Amino acid sequence: MSRRWRATVNGPLALYAAGFAEELVDLGYSKSAAKKQMILLAHLDGWLKARGHEAGELTADLVEPLFAARRHEGRSNLLTTKSLKPFLGFLRRAGVPEPPRAARTDPQELITDRFRLYLAQERGLVEGTVNFYVLVARLFLVERPVFSDLVAADIIQFTGRVCEGRGLSSARQAVSALRSFLRWLEMEGWTAPGLDQAVLSAAGWSPNLPRAIEAGQAAQLLRSCDRRRALGRRDYAILALLVRLGLRGGEIVRLELDDLDWRRGEILVRGKGRRQERLPLPSDVGEALAGYLQRGRPQSTSRRVFLRHHAPFVGFSDTGVLRGVLDRACVRAGVAYASPHRLRHTAATEMLRAGAPLSEIAQVLRHRSPTTTSLYAKVDHVRLGELARPWPGAA
């Protein structure tokens, strides 16, 4: 395939055509899908050549007019700049740096960019949390683009507006985001100290206890996976990590081959805030992982444990794939949908019912505060009954 396209791609991308064709094969693309990518590459190469652009200038924004033209022509596939992702990734791995972005001039964007960097690098927050905190910061800056004269009354009024219409959980997250932004502004020397204390807490009480799925349903989810097939082995291993170790979705997505210590029977979990902690690897979970790695995982240069089932064979981009795995398993098992976090509650509840003390459950779930784990004590009604004292004067 590379020889066939070398003559077609004769502009600024000619140097990379053969290597890209080979990478498509390595990533598991079918002949048809790889051909479509190479046809796009030829179209892109001619477009860049006609306009005097080099490979190092290639960005999604630059070639948006090309994709607009493809849509206008009525082409049937690869119609948006997202189609560039495989080739842009190849260029970066080939040593072609990303073109420098145009300098921002909007003061609000400059502030939120720096705040985003602080959240990601200094605090180590995951991408979803960073995006939400930056969203709240943007909403605040829209109302108060000049914040050198901020007073507590401004903060209180904005807190009410940003929480309006939100559920309790979302309102609490917005309050945390606003406090974080105000502390950062103070740290940067842009506001008076202590303004974060003016952020009122979201009033409300959530009576909901940690909700586990019903006894026996976890086993039904595991049995629903067809372990004769590669996809079934993958999904079974994912469900085993959720049900038995209570891993978070993001922790499963980030799991790498080097995190599995087979000799010691341990697994390295990359948790929140860049924390890395080792957990014992139960034998049944280890067998599930080994079954997938030996007879289900596609060949790939990726070090991620769990890969996409279709080309390109790379790690999951986010936890959405895990929710899809759970959704299909719940349908097969005939049970109501359970989120990854609900299976985390299930793992904790099963450990509690088996007699594990809260301190051990906290270690497995890697809770920072004992208060978080203590919520599970309310779930075990039998053991709570043993502690209940008789009502004075009752028969």
106 versus 95: the higher-pLDDT residue is 95
User: Is residue 193 exposed (0-12), middle (13-18) or buried (19+ Cβ within 10 Å)?
Assistant: exposed
pLDDT tens figures, 26-60: 888 888 889 999 999 999 999 999 999 999 999 88
Task: Please check the confidence at residue 383 and state whether its pLDDT lies above 70.
Answer: no
- Sequence-ordered list of residues with C-beta below 8 angstroms from that of 157, at least 6 positions apart, any chain: none
Alpha-helix residue ranges (DSSP H) falling in the chain: 2-6, 14-26, 31-50, 64-72, 85-93, 107-117, 127-143, 152-163, 168-187, 217-223, 230-245, 249-253, 283-295, 320-333, 340-353, 358-365, 370-374, 381-387
Is residue 208 very low, low, confident or very high in pLDDT (cuts 50, 70, 90)? Answer: low
**How many whole angstroms separate alpha carbon 168 and alpha carbon 196?**
20
Question: What distance lies between CA 61 and its chain's CA centroid?
Answer: 25
Q: Which of 151-165, 195-209, 260-274, 339-353 has the lowest mean pLDDT?
A: 195-209
CATH of domain 217-383: 1.10.443.10
What are the angstrom distances between the C-alpha of 214 and each of 94, 113, 235, 350?
51, 45, 20, 10
**What contacts 386, CB < 8 A, 6 or more positions away?**
none
**What's the pLDDT at 5?**
47
Contact indicator for 151, 191 with CB cutoff of 8 Å: no
* pLDDT value for 7: 47
Closest to 147 measured CA to CA, from 112, 93, 192, 178: 192
Highest-confidence range of 100-104, 118-122, 214-218, 329-333, by mean pLDDT?
Answer: 329-333
**pLDDT 10s digits, 130-140:** 999 999 999 99
**Which of 46-50, 143-147, 209-213, 323-327 is the least confident region?**
209-213
Compute CA distances 323 → 128, 238, 319, 337, 379, whole Å: 15, 11, 7, 9, 25
Would you please indicate which residues are annotated as catalytic (active-site) residues?
248, 272, 341, 344, 367, 376
- Is the model's pLDDT at 245 over the cut of 70? yes
> ∠ CA(171), CA(177), CA(179), 5° rounding?
105
Homologous superfamily of 107-198: Tyrosine recombinase, N-terminal domain (1.10.150.130)
Residue 306 burial (CB count, 10 A)? 25
Stretch 283-300: mean pLDDT: 94
Q: What H or E segment, with its residue span, contains residue 270?
A: strand 266-270
* Residue ranges covered by each domain of the chain: 2-93, 107-198, 217-383
Specify the pTM.
0.72
